[in-house]
Structure 1
Amino acid sequence: MRGFTRRLTVEDALAWLDAHLELMDAEPLPLSRAAGRVLATTITSDVDVPGFDRATMDGYAVVADSTEGASSYNRLTLTAIGDSRPGRPFDSAIATGQAVRIMTGAPMPSGADAVLPAEWIEVGSELPGTLPATISALATVSPGKNVGRRGEDVVRGTVLFEPGRVLRPQDLGVLSSVGIGEVQVVRKPRVRLAVTGNELLPSGSQPRDYRIADANGPMLAALIERDGGQVDFPGLVPDTEEAILGALHADADVVVVSGGSSVGLEDFAPGLLARHGELAVHGIAMRPSSPTGFGRLGPRLVFLLPGNPVSCLCAYDFFAGRAIRARGGRDKAWPYRSIRGQLTRKISSPVGRLDYARVRVNQTAVEPLAVGGASILSSTTRADGFVIVPADSEGFAAGADVDVWLYG
């Protein structure tokens, strides 16, 4: 058993990875299933929305000049000639001195240029629901008042959305409003998740004897889904060359292997990838996650993540997650919000290695919790986020301002 002869910098590892990230092809999807998906094409509206002038308040459509000088002390009488309702417009023209009862969203009658709100009119003692013969205007309205113009929401020819947009619920509403029921989206990368380790029990099992329950499987599956991947995780993979090679040859766009990534006696995955494909990166100057590797096997990107849970999480976020997001058309950057805070005590780090320090945040105070402890997954649940110490730094002094990437 030999150690790593050399370790790549994080920057060099990312450079290789970024050079091999190809966008997935597009697939059609109905709007009902498109929320959260990445748009693959430019979408331009072929229509105006709305396609007509419409009332924005309940009241009466009028010629604005008919209300000039109206007030509660100077009521002006208008003749009511009909109704305009949503989907059922008044089909004649209106003249000065006339009014058409109108509902919010209903088309404006020809000739009308304003809506006199219901609270600004007075009607006689007609039966409820019947159209009065006349109404009295109690206020003046100006041209265009309470009228929504054709195309005020969307103008025909407007580019609504560009490729790469992650579709939000309101986006689907806009798309539907212009008559689009199906969109082209970037296909989700299919990700085969292979968690190895003969010491592992299936997720949810009670640990017993010298065996431990799988923690990486549920964590990685959730991370892959968060990043837009389609997870295939049929169960734990035995620590045998045959079983691991079968997982590496899965029908997938990306293969993520957890465990067996280092140089130990049962660390088969690196050698298998090197013999059957390309092991481009193996060993990275970072803590944790040093024994991370990745490369290609046929059309697949393959990531070899350490079995220690914190190392696995860190390596996924730096490399595998980046690839899944990029291949699915999403931003390569971390999906974590960052804040600025001040360290309560120093973080020490050797030059030449990137460190991933878990921290707790209290307002602007940042408390370091752990840099080592690659197997202590609870250090990430106690933490609010992490601080990255770059490889060219010896760390940060107490009181230093640092960027914190928040887990939640």
Structure 2
Amino acid sequence: MSHDRHETGFKDRTRVADARETLLGAATPHGRVETVPLADADRHVVAEPVEAPAPVPGYDRAAMDGYAVRARDTFGASGRSPEVLRRTGGAGSEAPGGDDAAVGPGEAARVHTGSALPEGADAVVMIEEVEEVGGDVETFDAVAEGENVGPAGEDVAEGQRLYEPGHRLRPSDLGLLKSVGLTEVPVYEAPEVAVIPTGEELVQSDPGPGEVIETNGLTVARMAERWGAETRYRDVVTDDEDALRAAVERDLDADVVVTTGGSSVGERDLIPEVLDAVGEVLVHGVALKPGHPVCLGVADGTPVVCLPGYPVACIVNAVQFLRPVVAAVAGTEAPPHPTRRATLDRKIASEPGTRTFARVRLSEDGDATTAAPTRASGSGVLSSVALADGWVVVPEGREGIDAGEAVDVQIWEATE
């Protein structure tokens, strides 16, 4: 960065989508694979194709309460002229694999929903269509082969492809994997993210005059962990070029390096110069608000995200740039944010050509949802985002959004 850069500031700002694409172009999956027990696999990313080694269910089963029969023995049965079958089997006929669960010609065995279909049976007559008479069963319904039967593999077929590489596992996925007999799964290791807070004014507690409690590094580290990373939350590094360079170089063995603070163009904003010295600055200055002084680059093959020091700007940029790059090095893509549809109760102002992230709080009144922009909107007001329910994104091509307009509120903090 030249001295002119300090004096002139940002003449050109990169569009958000272009900046993100540039950063992701410098990120590659780390490729480290481990096999983990299913109980520990939640939120991990599948590294290899996963196929079912066994079908689910593993046997033909009754889909209704009733009697298991040979379909051919019910042909001709009707309400006026039932077919009479001999009741066979005992408790074992109602359990998967029972030794006495068998149906021969002219026989019927009592089954419950989910019971294994007895050997020899190929259909089930519903309980409403039969009448027990002594040791016999009168069936008033002619059933076809396979009727009221759930075949083996109805849920999952043996050899069925369940998941492709890049899929992030959820609790329901773990249940499915366990149901087919798997006890472990190959996944990508969680990416390592080094979080380096910077600023000579920062302290961890008990601030004196001119000092500020460090919050950005803690916030970003915990956000990265929600996004599937393991983090190194480093001590604060002062605004000294040599110290900053040593801190960045120390953590280039991580999958992603993220710094907080010192990313703008002031005399004490040294991080872009440090990044330019140890690697390459790809983007400096993005057309978004709050937080345009973000700096993105790469050093020794490691993506580096330099976040602004104002807390809200730091969070906005972390969600826009750190979240997708963490997913990329983990071998997947960040999922879209869940949204809520709401009616805006006050106008949101924005600058044409800049993507604006307006913090809002949601309120419910019957079936109507209202989004109210937070009164405290400065990029240094941490409570304005911590107490918000989400944000409304005003695209670059719009000059604000009027009150009364329906908007999508991104519930960004609910996402992984």
- Shorter-normalised TM range: 0.7 to 0.9
Q: Give the secondary-structure state (helix, strand or coil) at the position aligned to 1:388.
A: strand
Residue of structure 2 in register with 1:108 after alignment: 117
1:31–1:268 Cα change, 3 Å? same
Q: Name the stretch that deviates more: 56-65 or 248-257.
A: 56-65
SS in 2 for 1:84: helix
Distance 2:240 2:119 in 1: 79
Secondary structure of 1:256's counterpart equals strand
- In structure 1, the residue matched to 2:58 is 51
Post-superposition shift, 1:230?
1.6
Select 1:89's aligned residue among 98, 109, 115. 98
Cα pair 1:115 1:141 within 8 Å, conserved? no
Q: CA deviation at 1:77?
A: 5.9
Q: How much is the aligned-residue C-alpha RMSD, in angstroms? A: 3.2
**Pair 87,281 (structure 1): closer, same or farther in 2 beyond 3 Å:** same
What one-letter code is carried by the residue in structure 2 that aligns with 1:55?
Answer: A
Q: Which of 374, 378, 382 is residue 379 of structure 2 equivalent to?
A: 374
The alpha-carbon deviation at position 153 of structure 1 amounts to: 1.3
Instruction: Please list the CA deviations of residues 313-337 of structure 1 after superposition, one character each: whole Å capped at 9, or x if unmatched.
Output: 111112122211232234346x422
Partner residue, 1:216: 216
Equivalent-residue separation in structure 1 for 2:156 and 2:324 (angstroms): 35
d(CA) in 1 for partners of 2:404 and 2:59? 62
Paired residue type of 2:389: D
| 80-89 or 297-306, larger mean C-alpha shift | 80-89
Aligned letter for 2:31? Answer: D
- What are the Cα deviations for residues 144-187 of structure 1, in whole angstroms up to 9, with x where unaligned? 44432122112234322233322222222222333333323233
User: Is contact 2:89–2:100 with CA below 8 Å preserved after alignment?
Assistant: no
Tell me which amino acid in the other structure corresponds to 2:402: A
CA offset digits 1:225-264 (Å, max 9, x no partner)? 2222221214433443344333312130101101122233
Select the residue among 1, 22, 39 that pairs with 1:16: 22
CA distance in 2, matches of 1:346, 1:215: 30
Q: CA deviation at 1:78?
A: 1.6
Aligned-residue offset at 1:84: 2.9
SS for the counterpart of 1:347 is coil
Contact 2:26 2:298 in 1 (8 A): no
Q: Secondary structure at the match of 2:374?
A: strand
SS of residue paired to 1:61: strand
1:78 equivalent in alignment to 2:80 = no
Tell whether 2:175 aligns with 1:173: yes
- Name the counterpart of 1:295: 297
Structure 1 gaps, min length 5: 125-133
Distance 1:60 1:90 in 2: 17
The residue aligned with 1:324 is 326
Distance in 1 of aligned mates of 2:126 and 2:25? 62
Q: How many residues align?
A: 396
Instruction: Map Cα deviations across residues 297-356 of structure 1 (whole Å, 9 max, x no partner).
Output: 1021111111110110111112122211232234346x4223444433333333343332
Paired residue for 1:405, among 400, 407, 410?
A: 410
| Matching residue's letter, 2:25 | A
SS in 2 for 1:296: strand
Alignment match, 2:3 = none
1:7 and 2:12 matched: yes
Letter matched to residue 193 of structure 2:
V
* 2:199 paired residue number: 197
Q: Aligned residue for 2:339?
A: 338
Does the Cα contact within 8 Å between 1:192 and 1:247 map onto a contact in 2? no
Q: Does the Cα contact within 8 Å between 2:94 and 2:101 map onto a contact in 1? A: no
Q: Which letter maps to 1:78?
A: R
Structure 2: tracts of 5 or more residues without a match: 1-5
**Gap change, CA 1:165 and 1:72, over 3 Å in 2:** farther
Counterpart CA distance in 1 for 2:30 and 2:131 is 60
Does 2:389 align with 1:384?
yes
Among residues 259, 273, 276, which one is paired with 2:275 in the alignment? Answer: 273
State the alpha-carbon separation in 1 of the partners of residues 371 and 328 from structure 2.
31
The 3 A distance-change label for structure 1 pair 92 and 295 is closer
Question: Which residue in the other structure is 1:127 paired with?
Answer: none
Q: Tell me by how many angstroms 1:75 deviates.
A: 9.6
Distance 1:245 1:86 in 2: 69
- Give the aligned residue type for 2:400: G
* Pair 1:349–1:75, CA change in 2 (3 A): closer
| Distance in 2 separating the partners of 1:81 and 1:383 | 64
The 1-side partners of 2:160 and 2:79 are apart by 42
**For residues 311 and 42 of structure 2, what CA distance do their matches in structure 1 show?**
31
Q: Could you tell me whether the CA contact under 8 Å between 2:77 and 2:139 is conserved in 1?
A: no
Q: How far apart are residue 378 of structure 1 and its match?
A: 0.9
Q: What whole-Å deviation, never above 9, does each CA across 1:50-86 have from its counterpart, x for those lacking one? A: 2321234566533345566587997946242453354
1:145–1:389: structure 2 CA closer, same or farther, 3 Å change rule? closer
Q: Secondary structure at the match of 1:247?
A: helix
Name the amino acid aligned to 1:184: P
Q: In percent, how many aligned pairs have the same letter?
A: 38
Change (3 A) 1:86 1:212: farther
C-alpha deviations, 1:176-205, integer Å up to 9, x for none? Answer: 333333323233221001112232232xx4
Q: Which residue of 2 aligns with 1:128?
A: none
Change (3 A) 1:109 1:200: same
174 and 399 in structure 1: CA distance in 2 versus 1, 3 angstrom threshold = closer
How does 1:24-39 map onto structure 2 within 5 Å? 24-27=30-33, 28-39=35-46
Contact 1:358 1:370 in 2 (8 A): no
C-alpha displacement of 1:294: 1.4
Structure 2 partner of 1:129: none
For the Cα contact (< 8 Å) 2:283–2:296, is it kept in 1?
A: yes
